[in-house]
A and B are shown apart, each in its own frame.
Chain A
Amino acid sequence: MASPTKGAERELVHNRLPLLRANRGMSRADLAGVLGIHYQTIGYLERGEYAPSLHLALRIARLFDLPVEAVFSLEPFEQLGPESLLGSR
C-alpha cells in the first residue's frame, strides 16, 4: 500500500521524476494529466513526501520507458545528467 505522507521519513522513496520530467519538457500538470492523477501528487512525489503504490510507480516507469529501479530507489540517486539517463535505457 502507498505510504501516507506522515511515514515519508521512514519510508522514503527517492526518485528522478524532476530530472525525467525536465528531460521530456513536461510540467507537473502534463505528467499528472497523462497519469490521471492530481498535479499536486506529482509535487509530493518529487519532494519525497509520498511514496507511490507499486502500480503508480510501474506506470511512471513505463511512461518514461525506463525500468522502475531507474526512476525510484530506496537509496539516494547519484547526480546524473540527462545524457546519463538516456544512456541507461
Chain B
Amino acid sequence: MTTPLAFFRRLPRLGQRARRIAVVGAFTGYPILQLGYWALVVPGQVSSVIWAPIAIVLFTITIVSVFALYGYGQGRMGYPKHALDERQRVMHDRALALSYGIVTTVVCLAVGGLAGWAMNEPIVLEMGSLVPVLIAVGLYLPVLPFAALAWIEPDLPSDDEA
C-alpha cells in the first residue's frame, strides 16, 4: 500500500500533462467556488444544499492540486540555490521570473480595475468580501513559483535511470 509520504516523494516525477492539469485545477477550483457562490447562491438562484457538494468538490480539487504542485517542486523551489545544479537553477530562475510577471500583471489589473470602479461609485470594503481574497492570496502566492516550475518544465527523459 502506498503511504502518503511515499506518494508525496513520487510527485517530482509527474509528467508535464499531469502537472499542467494540476496547475489549472489549483488556480480555477477556488475562484470558481467563490464566483459560483456569489453569482448563484447569494442571489438565491441555486440553493446552498445543492451548492455544498459542488463547493466541496471544487475545494478538494484545489487542495489536491496545490499539494501536487508543492510535491513536484519539493527540493527545487524554496531550497538553497547552491544545492541545485545549473539546469535546475535555470528552471528555478525562470519559474521565479514567470511568477513575478504574473503577480505584477494581476496586481496592476486589480489596482486598475479598482481605480476605474472607484471613479463611478465609492468602494466599500467589507470583511465578508475581503476574506475570500485574503484566502486566495495566502493560498496562491506561495504556490505560484511551484506552479510556474510545474508548467514550464518539459517531461522527464522517458528512459530515466535512478
Contact = CB atoms under 8 A, between A and B. Distances in A.
Interface of A: 1-6, 27-29, 36-41, 43-44, 46-47, 49-50, 52-53, 55-56
Nearest to A32: B85
Contacts of B159: 43
A37 B86 CA distance: 8
B160 A28 contact: yes
A40 B160 contact: yes
A15 B85 CA distance: 19
Contacts of B88: 38, 41
Contact of A40 (B86, B152, B156): B156
Nearest to A31: B161
B154 interface: yes
Interface residues of B, number: 17
Given A4-B90, A5-B91, A40 B154 contact: no
B157 interface: yes
Contact of B87 (A6, A29, A44): A44
Contacts of A46: 157
A43 B156 contact: yes
B20 interface: no
9 contacts: A5-B87, A36-B85, A38-B85, A40-B156, A40-B160, A43-B157, A47-B157, A50-B90, A52-B86
A29 B161 contact: yes
Contacts of B152: 5-6
A51 to B, nearest CB: 10
B16 to A, nearest CB: 11
A27 to B, nearest CB: 5
A2 B92 CA distance: 13
Most buried by A among B91, B94, B153, B157: B157
A49 B137 CA distance: 34
Given A36-B85, A38-B85, A44 B161 contact: no
